[in-house]
Structure 1
Amino acid sequence: MTVAAKLKFPYRYDEVGSLLRPAKLKQARADYHAQKITQADLTQVENQEIRRIVDKQVALGLKDVTDGEFRRSWWHLDFFAGFNGAEFFEPEHGYNFHGEETRKGGIRFTGKIAYNPDHPFFAGFKYLNSIVPAGITAKQTIPSPSVFFPNKDAEVFDNYYDGDFDTFLDDEIKAYQQTVQHFYDLGCRYLQLDDTSWGMWASFSKQTLRPELVPLAKAAVKAINAIVDNKPDDLTITMHVCKGNYDSTWAGAGAYDPVADYLAQLHIDGYFLEYDDERSGGFEPLKKIADNRRDQRIVIGIVTSKRPQLEKEDFLKARIRDASQYVPLDNLCISPQCGFASTEEGNRLTEDDQWHKLALVIKTAKSVWNVE
């Protein structure tokens, strides 16, 4: 196992997690589902492609790297289906995005939600951590617990708890706590929670959160803080607040104002927030978060992962200056607004576009913060 870099994360230039799946990997996955190759054959292709993109991330200069989520079909469903008591299924419809319906996918609770010591994500992280070079940190991403609160719109169905949300929440928290500890025992020191709930709840509201969403927001704060407060001291946990990312489309739009008070209550070490276009609103809500935790870093996602056009460095620097009116510059970082492929379909960019975007993030951050 390599030694993790002794750096503060999120780093000044960082990435959200998912990367575009190469054609070779897509073909191997299709061949596996068509029973033309074995699981071992598919894993071999995954390993080869993960090693390739890890080498590329390191060559670009990133201080932390991911496996691109190359072993997943969905950014979230694959993870929760790995718990005991949950299963993946295909509902009648996909998710409603802006101008597009997604591929079908959902989760059902079929028993008590519980930690699975053989969760497939563990083997994936173990491989990633074994191939990162010395001085580079392997970053693991998993969906946030609030993503799996029973919700028809999110295609998460309770077929076990009979509406007893409190018992479900307690079980979910325990399963997450044990899962996070297992990642840590495997060498993970940088874990990111990906959370669409806050972005969607903000989209459904105006200046304040709609009353019917308040209990869910409070439950999310309880769950996330219970998980983070249980972590080892040298494990960094961040959160990416997402508004939907599928085939370059989006699901939510609106400023963070309605959820800022709740985000400020979370005990996480840093935020990744989407700020690539007008859907995100202004930087003003960041002041509430920054005022609550002086040591917390806020990553503004000012380079879009949805379109191939490359932003201008001067434009990005102006956005950083704007954000620094509400958050001290020393607490800011930058990244792409989201991953490049939250599902295996990926966004409408080429792999070269993806690397150019990440290179621009790195170049801009080095200039602004004078870091290596």
Structure 2
Amino acid sequence: MTLNTVPPFRADHVGSLLRPAALLRAREDRSAGRISPEELRAAEDDAIRSVVAMQAEVGLRTATDGEFRRTSWHMDFIYQLGGIGQSDESIKVRFQNADGLIEFSTAALHVDSPVRLQKTIFADDFTFLREVAGDAVTPKLTIPSPSMVHYRGGPAALDPAVYPDEDQFWADLSEAYARQVAAVAQLGCRYLQLDDTSLAYLNDPNQRAELTARGDDAEHQHLRYIKQINTALAGRPDGLRVTTHMCRGNFKSSWAAEGGYDFVAEALFSELAVDGFFLEYDDPRSGSFAPLRFVPPGKQVVLGLVTTKRGALESKDDIKRRIDEAAKYVPLEQLCLSPQCGFSSTVDGNALSYDEQVAKLSLIVEIAAEVWGD
């Protein structure tokens, strides 16, 4: 099997990692005014140095900063786009797990002036990660996809005085993202991931019903999202590898949507202009591998077969059998392995320990070496 020399790698991971206790205390201290912003930044720096070293030690060829400077995987980015602010209203998202339902409330967003990129978002964060990673691992930057800006509020989030025509909103949003992509490439980013729950949520009939009720064209929304992501990536620099991660929600070991990738698969895999797809496949809720039949040659599929929602370690043989099943639909050389999602999509984290997290990442590296020799 040919060595994977560019991202995504045979053994990879989505991005967010469990925040260490010392960092959580520093965040609490900063919120209470007991430490300065500079002291919090120093605590984040220390935690990131440690977690990058961990990723290299387990044998991963890429590293993120664990999203340690963020409260949320997506809103910390979205609120930094010009023209987008917090609404007085809140959004309630219902998550579920084996024990029942939990509800997560967060501030809604409102687009009250033309969307634009005012500065390179996460520039200092990526620069620090790149310096810490050095030559040992490839630094990966994760940001929410353009779709997430729209999925959060839909047409109702747009001020009609600013955007009487939704097409202009999409044009401005894609342009802002195109500038962001070009800017992070100039900083030395060679591995960028667009995180997108919306394209997975749209497979769930209940989610589509909710969108229809608020005035969206739920049956065709994925086509618009694919088009706008492609527009944002159209001018990306040579040498920048881009992937997208699609899951059905990840908050305190719970999820928000269910269903296989069937509804979006043909358009998604054949049209989305990314180099690889991180896909959630850790339990029956994620559906079958059959939609992978639409993946064209040259695209990598990163199978999220190792769950981040529980600490119990998967069986190597079980994972290898599932890789074999997926290889019936897309060639083995186009497959990679990762956890199904991040370990801590919000600052809260999932219900497993640091050691369990490390064990899962190590398992992924070991299986990749045995399956692909990588």
Same-fold call, TM > 0.5? yes
Cα distance in 1 for residues equivalent to 2:310 and 2:88:
29
Cα distance in 2 for residues equivalent to 1:89 and 1:247:
25
What residue is the counterpart of 1:69 in the other structure? 67
1:143 alignment partner AA: P
Cα distance in 2 for residues equivalent to 1:205 and 1:53:
38
Alignment partner of 1:327 is 2:336:
no
1:158 alignment partner AA: L
What residue is the counterpart of 1:363 in the other structure? 366
In structure 2, the residue corresponding to 1:105 is in which secondary structure?
Answer: strand
Distance change >3 Å, CA 314–CA 150, structure 1 → 2: closer
Matches for 1:183-194 after TM superposition, within 5 Å? 183-194=184-195
* Distance apart, 1:161 and its partner CA: 3.3
What residue is the counterpart of 2:157 in the other structure? 157
What residue is the counterpart of 1:91 in the other structure? 89
* Distance apart, 1:221 and its partner CA: 1.4
Alignment partner of 1:242 is 2:242:
no
What residue is the counterpart of 1:279 in the other structure? 285
Q: Tell whether the 8 Å contact from 2:15 to 2:66 is kept in structure 1 after alignment.
A: yes
Matches for 1:250-269 after TM superposition, within 5 Å? 250-264=255-269, 265-269=271-275
1:81 alignment partner AA: Y
* Distance apart, 1:155 and its partner CA: 11
Q: Tell whether the 8 Å contact from 2:203 to 2:260 is kept in structure 1 after alignment.
A: yes
1:76 alignment partner AA: H
1:187 alignment partner AA: G
Cα distance in 1 for residues equivalent to 2:149 and 2:88:
16
Q: Tell whether the 8 Å contact from 2:140 to 2:189 is kept in structure 1 after alignment.
A: yes
Q: Tell whether the 8 Å contact from 1:225 to 1:267 is kept in structure 2 after alignment.
A: yes
Cα distance in 2 for residues equivalent to 1:193 and 1:156:
24
In structure 2, the residue corresponding to 1:214 is in which secondary structure?
Answer: coil
In structure 1, the residue corresponding to 2:203 is in which secondary structure?
Answer: helix
Q: Tell whether the 8 Å contact from 2:8 to 2:336 is kept in structure 1 after alignment.
A: yes
Alignment partner of 1:308 is 2:311:
yes
In structure 1, the residue corresponding to 2:219 is in which secondary structure?
Answer: helix
What residue is the counterpart of 2:196 in the other structure? 195
How far does the alpha carbon of each residue in 1:293-344 deviate from its partner, in whole angstroms, 9 at most, with x for none? Answer: 3111000100000001110000000000000000100000000000000000
How far does the alpha carbon of each residue in 1:231-274 deviate from its partner, in whole angstroms, 9 at most, with x for none? Answer: 01210000001100000000010011001022121111000000
TM-score (norm 1): 0.92
Cα distance in 2 for residues equivalent to 1:282 and 1:122:
38
Alignment partner of 1:350 is 2:358:
no
* Distance apart, 1:218 and its partner CA: 1.9
What residue is the counterpart of 1:110 in the other structure? 112
2:260 alignment partner AA: A
* Distance apart, 1:205 and its partner CA: 6.9
* Distance apart, 1:90 and its partner CA: 6.3
Q: Tell whether the 8 Å contact from 2:250 to 2:256 is kept in structure 1 after alignment.
A: yes
Cα distance in 2 for residues equivalent to 1:307 and 1:156:
37
* Distance apart, 1:28 and its partner CA: 1.0
Alignment partner of 1:139 is 2:144:
no
Q: Tell whether the 8 Å contact from 1:106 to 1:156 is kept in structure 2 after alignment.
A: no
Cα distance in 2 for residues equivalent to 1:102 and 1:323:
34
Distance change >3 Å, CA 56–CA 89, structure 1 → 2: farther
How many residue pairs are counted as aligned between the two chains?
361
Ranges in structure 1 where 5+ consecutive residues have no aligned partner: none
Cα distance in 2 for residues equivalent to 1:88 and 1:62:
37
Match of 2:341 among 338, 358, 363: 338
Deviates more, 1:279-288 or 1:83-92: 83-92
Cα distance in 2 for residues equivalent to 1:18 and 1:89:
26
What residue is the counterpart of 1:130 in the other structure? 131
Cα distance in 1 for residues equivalent to 2:165 and 2:326:
42
Match of 1:18 among 4, 16, 19: 16
Q: Tell whether the 8 Å contact from 1:77 to 1:105 is kept in structure 2 after alignment.
A: no
Deviates more, 1:323-332 or 1:225-234: 225-234
TM-score (norm 2): 0.92
Cα distance in 2 for residues equivalent to 1:143 and 1:22:
23
Cα distance in 1 for residues equivalent to 2:222 and 2:273:
15
Alignment partner of 1:60 is 2:65:
no
In structure 2, the residue corresponding to 1:353 is in which secondary structure?
Answer: helix
Cα distance in 1 for residues equivalent to 2:20 and 2:358:
13
Cα distance in 2 for residues equivalent to 1:196 and 1:125:
23
1:34 alignment partner AA: A
Match of 1:231 among 227, 236, 240: 236
